[in-house]
Every structure is written in structure tokens, then in C-alpha cells.
Amino acid sequence: MTGTVVVADDHEEMRRLVVQLLEAEGYEVRQARDTQEALHEVARAKPDLLILDVHMPGAGGVEALKSIRSDPGLNGMRVLLLSGSVDFAADWPSQIGADAHLPKPFPSTI
């Protein structure tokens, strides 16, 4: 295994695509459909990476990220934000603690 990743996205097709890509590369992948599930999986799995949709049912990805960054046991975990409706041109993802961000749908060069 290469590492553990939690993929949190309420859009089932997008989540399934990301999971398939990661599993094909040898990652152990856990899934979450909403903010609460994401936080539960992160606390349980202590993943190497969290791929987190910005807009999900519950408090949303931004609030989940703030919660993770305030937890000393999770603060060092890498977080990639995904969104199909947020302008990532500004530097706000890094300002709230994201390590990287990616628009949905993914560019064809990935």
C-alpha cells in the first residue's frame, strides 16, 4: 500500500472516479458522503491525505477543514480541496489551511 486517503464528496460519480484512480495506484481509500462522515473517517483512519469537496451536506468542507486544523492530532494531515463552484484563482484555500486545491471537473491534463 502506498498510503491511506479519505475521499469526501457528496457527488457519487465524482467520488467513485477519484476512488478508482487512487486504488489503481495502490492507495487504501475510505469514502465519505458528507461532512460528518468525512470527520468520522479522518478521526478513525488518520489518513495521509484527505480529498475534501468544498460544498457537501452538513457544515461543508471549509468547516471540516477548520475543525481538522484545530485538532493537534490531525493538524499535519494533507488536505486537497475540490470544488465545481468555487473560484480557486484567489489564494483563500491556502489561507484556510488547504495544502492544495483542484477544480471540478478535472482538467484533461491530470
Cell 485538532 identifies what position? 71
Omega before 105 within 30 of 0, i.e. cis: yes
18, part of any domain: yes
Residue 107 reports pLDDT greater than 90: no
42, part of any domain: yes
55, part of any domain: yes
| pLDDT one-digit tens code per residue, 10-50 | 999 999 999 999 999 999 999 999 999 999 999 999 999 99
- For the domain that residue 39 is a member of, what is the CATH number? 3.40.50.2300
- Smallest Cα–Cα separation from 57: which of 104, 102, 12? 12
27, part of any domain: yes
Range of the domain at 81: 4-103
**Where are the alpha helices (H) located in 5-109, listed in sequence order?**
12-24, 35-45, 61-69, 92-95
Q: How many domains does the chain have?
A: 1
108, part of any domain: no
Residues 6+ apart with CB under 8 A from 18: 7, 9, 51
70, part of any domain: yes
Residue 68 reports pLDDT greater than 70: yes
pLDDT score for 16: 94
Rounded Cα distance, 61 and 25, in Å: 25
Residue 9 reports pLDDT greater than 70: yes
